[in-house]
Chain A
Amino acid sequence: MSLITRLIFGPPKSDLEVLRPALYRIAYAWSHDAALADDLVQETLSKAWTRRSQLRDAQAVKPWAVSIMHHCWLDHLRSRRDFDDVDSLHDTLEASVDTPEQCCDREQVIACVRAAVAQLPLAQRQVLTLVDLEEFAYSEVASILDIPIGTVMSRLSRARSALKLILQRKMQSATSRPTLRRVK
């Protein structure tokens, strides 16, 4: 595809499709629901394709797509009848997954970390996952979520402090896990 075509019509479908794994990872980390994450990604890619001519910087296709997904996610939250204030929802919503304690009892440490992440308020979870999973710059996260960069930093700081606390609490009781064996 020529540069001019790309400028006029936006990124080709393959450039968008290649983002699917990353988008799914982010969507899953936000929602902890595989079906919902799949839906979000599908809707995001569909909207990105429709709006592809709006993308002016081909290098920024990923943050642009994630930004679309963020809005799809907000739309989904708004559509939930039990929440009508997305801002307050951001501070309270936790994914409906098991607690870290329950997960670690079943020796599922991955689930344990995910459960700990899921316990974070949604706004913090979004920032944490964008920075840690996809290594977006703070400025990109600010742009994707449409918040000031200072807010990105404070949410990230709070998220990591809370996460560390949850996991530390868990690890104190995990030292007696049956997977550890005395070597004779």
Chain B
Amino acid sequence: MSHHVSDEMLHAFVDGELDVAESENLIAQMRDNEALSQRVCDLSSLKNMVQLAYAAPPRYGSGAVHDRGLRRRRLVQRCAYACLFLTLGLSAGWMVRGVGSTEPVAYWEGREVVSLAVEADPGKILLHIDSGLPEKMLDVLDQAERYLDQAEAQGRAIQLEVVANSRGLNLLRAGFSPYADRIAQMRQRHANLHFIACSQSVARFAADGEDVELLPVAQTAPTAIGEIVSRLQQGWTYVRI
């Protein structure tokens, strides 16, 4: 069953104004309605952006805290910038895989790439997978291995993270991942490779009654978007598979 949910209702949900029953009802609708999930995601991100924009307002007549404030504002600026991109640039593919598309930000070997660094560091790469398609899973592992092998051959230090959320989480689920053995081998070969599962996605699967057991090599982050924003702040390059 699906019926139109008003903007006011969604705002109330994002702002924690709904009671438990109303919230649960809306969450149930979101599971079956990707457009609705997208609206909630957009609203939530917008709210975060406003918070970030005013996290450190300029002080009046306070020279002593100027430098510290400036540094903090720069940090907040980057964070807000990341949110801007993730919300308005990449969010079309964030919760609603395959719905809508955005202008490519930049391309690296034919892949969409985002970096906030003035000089993006090729030694810090985050690969993001949110699709449950086996070919996408294979692709992300192939790419990771290729980057790692290239760096090794060139004697370059590299850090690489594979962040999985939404249906892409299946890549890291025991009993679901078609590549569990390969992932274990890769992790054994490369100490600088990490597989990160989105805890929010885990919770969502669990709420649907699914028993989620992650592969032993998988680590978790509270949210995939948080991990991505945090890494972007640190100069990592984001590649969406």
Contact = CB atoms under 8 A, between A and B. Distances in A.
Nearest to B58: A34
B7 interface: yes
A167 interface: yes
B222 interface: no
B84 interface: yes
A86 interface: no
Nearest to A128: B50
A48 interface: no
Given A157-B7, A172-B103, A133 B51 contact: yes
A114 B117 CA distance: 22
A25 B57 contact: yes
Nearest to B57: A28
Interface stretch (A54-62, A87-95, A174-182): A174-182
Nearest to A180: B106
A28 B118 CA distance: 30
Interface string A140-174: 00000000000001101100110110011001101
Contact of A160 (B43, B61, B113): B43
B76 A110 contact: yes
Contact of B57 (A29, A131, A156): A29
A156 to B, nearest CB: 6
A66 interface: no
Contact of B113 (A37, A153, A183): A183
A126 interface: no
A175 B105 contact: yes
B17 interface: yes
A130 to B, nearest CB: 11
Contacts of B54: 25, 28-29, 114, 129, 133
Interface string B39-58: 00011001101111110011
Contacts of A25: 54, 57
Contact of A163 (B50, B106, B113, B118): B50
Contacts of B11: 153, 156-157, 160
13 contacts: A25-B54, A110-B76, A114-B53, A133-B50, A138-B12, A160-B43, A160-B46, A160-B47, A171-B85, A179-B117, A179-B118, A181-B115, A182-B108
> Would you list the 4 A-B pairs with minimal beta carbon distance, nearest first?
A113-B53, A34-B60, A28-B57, A38-B60
